[in-house]
Amino acid sequence: MMQLLASQDAIAAGGRISDDQTVFRFEADFAADLRCIPMIVRFKLDRIGIKLSLKQWTRIGVANRRRLAALSCDTLREISDYRRTLVNLAAHHTAEPIVELKPDTDPCWADTRTVASPVIQQAGAASVASPTLAQWSTLSMLQRFALVKLARSNHDNHNFVPALREFGLL
């Protein structure tokens, strides 16, 4: 499964991004033009240690947004190439500086031995059952990442329950 590393230079925290799907159904309201940053790109941004503003995202254009969603970001070389591509696109299309972050080397979504606490807390706040450990461990890396991001969201978390449904957890 996706927790298995396919090569020695695959990134240690989380494994490979091998989901065929680049946009989840709960993201469908903006999927046509990718006007918001989809989870697959948010994952890659976290992986490369860059915070991209929505303003920067929209200014790089639809074709480049699709390209960033599709580009691989698994091996150390791909991560480096992805980072370089993103930095170049942002520099070319916007004057806003790139914000660098320290990548999380031990993200809670990567651990399949325990359900991430933000997900448990958000499920409680939404009055729905939290995923069981068995359910959590069978989710793809990207699905676990999405649930954690949606649980930690600074806005109204309106996609958390739809994501749980989409992932077969409700």
The H-assigned helical ranges of the chain are 39-48, 54-59, 62-70, 76-93, 117-125, 133-138, 141-152, 160-166
Quick: pLDDT tens for 116-159: 999 999 999 999 999 999 999 999 999 999 999 999 866 668 89
- Residue 32 β-bridge partners: none
| Burial category of 151 from C-beta neighbours within 10 Å (exposed 0-12, middle 13-18, buried 19 and up) | buried
* Structure-derived torsion over alpha carbons of residues 87, 88, 89, 90, reported in degrees to the nearest 10: 50
Q: Are 138 and 28 in contact (CB under 8 A)?
A: no
Name the percent of the chain lying above pLDDT 90.
71
- The reported pLDDT for the residue numbered 119 is 97
CA atoms within 13 A on the CB side of 119: 25
Confidence band, pLDDT 50/70/90 cuts, at residue 33: confident
State how far the Cα of 27 lies from the Cα of 34, in Å rounded to an integer.
9
Higher-pLDDT residue of 11 and 76 is 76
- The reported pLDDT for the residue numbered 2 is 29
- The reported pLDDT for the residue numbered 153 is 67
Q: Are 74 and 110 in contact (CB under 8 A)?
A: no
Alpha carbon 94 to chain centroid distance?
23
Contacts for 88 with CB less than 8 Å, ≥ 6 apart: none
- The reported pLDDT for the residue numbered 104 is 84
Does the pLDDT at position 103 exceed 50? yes
pTM assigned to the model: 0.84
- Residue 51 β-bridge partners: 99
Name the percent of the chain lying above pLDDT 70.
85
